Every structure is written in structure tokens, then in C-alpha cells.
């Protein structure tokens, strides 16, 4: 015998009110609010009472997420407020409200150790998912916005711009969107790449007379575009024109677009107004540095994910000392684990302090002047050469490497770094991009940078 829908609806509203006091606000809005009461039913095999409460959810991924993370809590509240044993069932419904074909949870689990391959572009990192992203006050809005785009909760929001300094998690969120979309809809054509990848592909298409194929790929063959590091488009006029046309095509078809950058659209120099307006047309979400509580949670999760047994006092020490960004936190934890393994020493605060001391001393002592000094000595140039207008390769390359190292080892903003070398913001960006490309390609630049980095980190300057 079925339960009345009105009774079930009233019961569900009471359960939601209780859950709202037990679940973080961002998680409640994303996973509990969309659930709707579908009714109740009797089922001899369900529970001792044979009663089942059915809730409607939008897709299989949503169903699995809710059952994995909130299923036990929801079920406990159902039993408590109903006053008798009652089972929980999540029903996936289509847009017209009819039930979709149900699949057992075991069939939905991803295969272990798989790296997701989107249709085009770079691989998505296996651990860069929403489940592995630690949420706090500094990134709650960005997390919710990214998740909303991924599940299309807000049909008016098709574009998201993730903004933060390096090491704060914008790449993680961008790839998490790709993971979730592909998990829920494997047929979606997800393209994940950097702005430099897009530029290189466009240039190659012009050289090979395959421009139409390039345009069709993005205008007609792309459902989701994840474009990282858009600030590297500065000064690339032809790429900006082509990308603006591509974005127009995607936005007109209500496709999803996610950008990431360390600069807001208004701060990127030498950017056409057409492209700037398209980058800024969606939601712009900033990610701030994590506070102590979030740093500690990040360390705990990272240690657990790697099966490292780290004492609580060591995690607390690292969280209090490593305050720059998420990347520094993880580097510190890796350093502690590696040192303990190599030395055969127990993991304690004394060992951790040695790791932290090296990291802190490195960031305090390395200044732009120190970088200039070591670069000048290595390349046999003068400090005056580095700030001169000379375009000789023997001067340009050391200058570019010095700018790259200044960006990597100091907290100075890009404009200040450029000014210290008598260069504009855009020129500093170009220098950093050139050196990063050389490092990725394994050119002699990589060896030069590695050597200079070792010198800086050892304090030998």
C-alpha cells in the first residue's frame, strides 16, 4: 500500500530542515535542496515495516554522490522523524518527471587507477575531482559555482572564470568539472587545454592549410571548453580573434566554458576588447589563500590519500608554518614523508621543522636583487644589461630567466617584477611563458633553470 504524497512531502520538508543544521551550507544547497519527494511505497523486501521513502534526483552521478556521502544521515533522519523503520530510495527522473532506467550503484563505480581522457587536449588528473577538493571559506563560492556549472543546476550560467594566484586550486576545480561531466555524460565532448595549446594548434592549422578543420573542431565538435592560463593570450592578436569567434559560437549554442587565470580579464594587458568582454561575460570567482583550519584539513586529506601515517602535532605544525598556498602545503608534507623515509627517522615536529626551515628560509632570503646577482654571474652579464633595452639574445635570455625566477621565488606581483627589469607587465608575462615552454620541451633552458634554482635554494648567491 502506498503512502500519501502529501504525508511524504510534509515528512521530507521536516527532514530537510533538520539536515540543514547538520550539513555545510554549500553541500546542502548543492546536494540536498534539489531532492524532491516522489512518494512512498510498500515493498515486502525493503525493511521490517516494508515501507520505502522515494526521493527524485536528476541523474545517476547525483544519485551516487548523495548515497555515498549523505545516504546514512538522510536515512537516520527519515527513521527518526517518521517514528518507524523506513528505507530510502533515490529515483533518477528524466526532464518530464518519469523514472529513468535505474542502474545498480556497483555498475556506476569508476575503474580504479584510471586517468580520464577527454575527447581533445590534455589528460585530466585522476585526483583532481570534486571529492578530493577541500572546501573552506576561501574557496566555497568557487567550489559551488564550479559544481553548479558541472551539473547545470543554473541553466543561465554557461561561463565561469576561475581567478587566483598560482597554487590555490583553480586547475583542480577546472578539471573536476571535466571529470564530473564525463562521469555523468560520457558522450559529452570535453576539451581541456591551456591558452598556449590553443595558440599552437591554431598556428599549426594555418601552416598546414587546415584552418577549416580547426574551426569545425571547436565551433561544431565541442560541448565543454576548459581553457587554462588565459593571461598568456596577452599580445597574441590573431589567437584572440580566433578565440573570440570560437567563444561566440559556443555561447550561442549554450555550451559550457570554464576559464582560469592569475589575472582578471580587466587586468590582462594587450587584450582586445572583444575577447575581454567574452571572458568577463560569465561568473568570475576568486579563490583566496586558505586559513589555518582549511590548511590543516588539506594536509589531513592529502596524507590519508597517500596512506601516510602523520602524527596530528606534525600536521598542525605544518599548517601553522606553511601559509602561502596549497602547493606549498603539499610540498611540505611530501618533504616530511621523504626525509623520514630516507633517514629512517620517526616523523615528529623536529623532523618537520627541518623541512619547514629550508622552505621558509628559501622564501625569505630570495629577492629579485639576489636573483639578478646569480643570473648575472652565471651568464657573465651586468645588472645594467638586464634592465637595458638591448634585444641581443645574450641579454634577452638571461633577462627572461631572471624574470621567471623572480615570479617563481618571490611574492612580488607581476607588475612589480616587470618594473624591476624596466619592462611592462605584458613583457614579463611573455618572458615567463617563453621560459615555461622551454622547460616543458626539455631545451637547454631547463638545465639552466634547474642549476640556478639549486643555487638559490641552497643560499649560494
pLDDT category, 453, cuts 50, 70, 90?
confident
Asked whether the predicted pLDDT for residue 48 surpasses 70, the reply is: no
pLDDT at residue 361, as a whole number: 56
Q: Look at residue 246 and tell me whether its pLDDT is greater than 80.
A: yes
Q: Is the pLDDT of residue 323 over 90?
A: no
Confidence of residue 113 (pLDDT cuts 50, 70, 90): very low
Enumerate domains of the chain plus CATH numbers: 5-105 (3.30.300.180), 120-286 (3.40.50.300), 292-362 (1.10.8.60), 366-458 (1.10.1750.10)
Which pLDDT value is given to residue 95? 46
| Mean pLDDT, rounded, for 447-459 | 81
Q: For position 392, what pLDDT does the model report?
A: 92
Contacts 24+ apart (CB under 8 A), 370-378: 370/456, 370/461, 371/402, 371/405, 371/406, 371/409, 371/410, 371/456, 372/402, 373/461, 374/452, 374/455, 374/456, 374/461, 375/401, 375/402, 375/405, 375/452, 378/448, 378/451, 378/452, 378/455
pLDDT at 43 over 60: no
Least confident of 43-57, 111-125, 269-283, 372-386: 111-125
Query: What integer pLDDT is reported at residue 44 of this predicted model?
Result: 45
The rounded Cα 442 to chain-centroid distance in angstroms is 26
Read off the pLDDT of each residue in 79-102 and give the average, rounded to a whole number: 71
Parallel/antiparallel/unpaired status of strands 224-228 and 87-92: unpaired
Residue 108 pLDDT: 41
- 140 phi/psi in degrees, rounded to 5: -60, -45
Residue 56: count of CB within 10 angstroms of its CB: 17
Contact partners, residue 351, CB within 8 Å, separation at least 6: 314, 336, 339, 340, 343, 345
Average pLDDT of the chain is: 83
More confident residue, 349 or 69: 349
pLDDT band at 160 (very low <50, low <70, confident <90, very high): very high
Contacts of 108 (CB under 8 A, 6+ apart): 60, 61, 64
**pLDDT for res 153:** 64
**Residues 401-424, mean pLDDT to the nearest whole number:** 87
Instruction: Please give the pLDDT value at position 284.
Output: 93
Neighbours of 421 (CB within 10 A): 20
**Other CB atoms within 10 A of residue 443 CB:** 12
Lowest mean pLDDT segment, chosen from 119-133, 324-338, 373-387: 119-133
Q: Are strands 87-92 and 120-121 parallel, antiparallel or unpaired?
A: unpaired
Residue 431 has pLDDT above 80, yes or no: yes
Phi, psi of 102 (to 5 degrees): -85, 140
This prediction's pTM = 0.61
- The confidence score (pLDDT) of residue 39 equals 66
β-pair partners for 283: 160
In the three-class reduction of DSSP (H, G, I as helix; E, B as strand; rest coil), residue 56 is classed as strand
- pLDDT per residue as tens digits for the range 169-192: 999 999 999 999 988 888 889 999
Examine the pLDDT at 362 and tell me if it is beyond 90: no
Q: How many C-beta atoms surround the C-beta of residue 8 within 10 A?
A: 20
38 band by pLDDT with thresholds 50, 70 and 90: confident
Residue 420 binned pLDDT confidence (cut-offs 50, 70, 90): very high
% of the chain beyond a pLDDT of 70: 87
At 111 the pLDDT is 43
Predicted local distance difference test score (pLDDT) of residue 266:
86
CA distances 38 to 1, 55, 80, Å, are: 15, 5, 19
Amino acid at each position: 500500500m502506498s503512502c500519501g504524497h502529501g504525508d511524504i512531502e510534509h515528512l521530507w520538508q521536516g527532514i530537510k530542515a533538520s539536515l540543514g543544521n547538520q550539513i555545510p551550507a554549500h553541500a546542502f544547497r548543492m546536494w540536498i535542496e534539489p531532492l524532491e519527494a516522489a512518494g512512498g511505497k510498500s515493498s515486502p523486501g525493503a525493511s521490517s515495516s516494508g515501507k520505502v521513502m522515494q526521493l527524485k534526483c536528476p541523474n545517476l552521478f547525483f544519485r551516487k554522490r548523495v548515497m555515498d556521502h549523505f545516504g546514512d544521515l538522510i536515512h537516520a533522519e527519515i527513521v527518526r522523524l517518521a517514528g518507524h523503520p523506513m528505507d530510502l530510495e533515490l529515483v533518477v527522473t528524466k526532464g518530464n518527471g518519469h523514472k529513468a532506467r535505474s542502474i545498480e550503484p556497483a555498475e556506476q563505480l569508476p575503474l580504479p587507477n584510471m586517468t580520464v581522457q577527454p575527447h581533445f587536449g590534455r589528460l585530466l588528473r585522476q585526483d583532481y575531482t570534486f571529492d578530493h577538493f577541500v572546501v573552506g571559506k576561501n574557496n566555497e563560492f568557487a567550489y559551488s559555482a564550479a559544481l553548479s556549472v558541472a551539473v547545470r543546476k543554473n541553466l543561465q550560467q554557461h561561463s565561469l572564470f576561475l581567478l587566483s594566484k598560482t597554487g590555490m586550486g583553480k586547475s583542480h576545480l577546472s578539471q573536476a568539472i571535466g571529470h564530473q561531466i564525463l562521469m555523468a555524460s560520457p558522450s559529452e565532448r570535453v576539451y581541456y587545454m591551456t591558452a598556449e595549446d590553443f595558440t599552437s594548434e591554431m598556428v599549426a592549422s594555418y601552416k598546414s592549410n587546415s584552418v577549416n578543420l580547426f574551426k569545425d573542431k571547436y565551433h561544431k565538435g565541442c560541448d565543454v571548453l576548459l581553457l587554462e592560463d588565459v593571461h598568456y593570450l596577452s599580445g597574441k592578436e590573431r589567437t584572440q580573434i580566433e578565440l573570440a569567434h570560437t567563444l561566440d559560437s559556443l555561447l550561442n549554442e549554450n555550451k559550457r566554458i570554464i576559464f582560469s587565470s592569475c589575472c582578471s580579464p580587466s587586468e590582462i594587458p594587450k587584450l582586445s576588447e572583444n575577447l575581454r568582454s567574452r571572458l568577463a561575460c560569465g561568473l568570475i570567482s576568486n579563490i583566496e589563500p586558505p586559513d589555518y583550519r582549511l590548511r590543516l584539513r588539506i594536509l589531513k586529506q592529502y596524507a590519508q590519500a597517500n596512506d601516510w601515517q602523520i602524527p596530528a602535532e606534525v600536521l598542525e605544525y605544518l599548517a601553522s608554518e606553511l601559509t602561502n598556498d596549497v602547493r606549498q602545503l603539499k610540498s611540505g608534507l611530501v618533504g616530511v614523508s621523504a626525509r623520514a623515509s630516507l633517514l629512517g627517522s620517526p616523523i615528529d615536529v623536529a623532523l618537520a621543522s627541518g623541512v619547514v626551515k629550508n622552505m621558509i628560509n628559501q622564501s625569505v632570503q630570495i629577492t629579485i636583487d639576489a636573483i639578478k646577482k646569480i643570473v648575472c654571474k652565471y651568464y657573465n652579464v651586468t645588472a645594467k644589461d638586464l634592465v637595458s633595452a638591448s634585444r641581443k639574445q645574450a641579454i634577452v635570455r638571461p633577462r627572461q630567466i631572471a624574470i621567471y625566477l623572480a615570479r617563481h621565488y618571490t611574492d612580488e606581483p607581476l607588475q612589480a617584477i616587470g618594473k624591476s627589469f624596466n619592462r611592462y607587465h605584458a613583457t614579463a608575462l611573455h618572458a615567463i611563458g617563453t621560459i615555461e615552454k622551454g622547460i616543458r620541451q626539455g631545451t637547454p633552458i631547463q638545465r639552466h633553470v634547474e642549476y640556478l634554482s639549486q643555487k638559490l635554494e641552497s643560499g649560494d648567491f
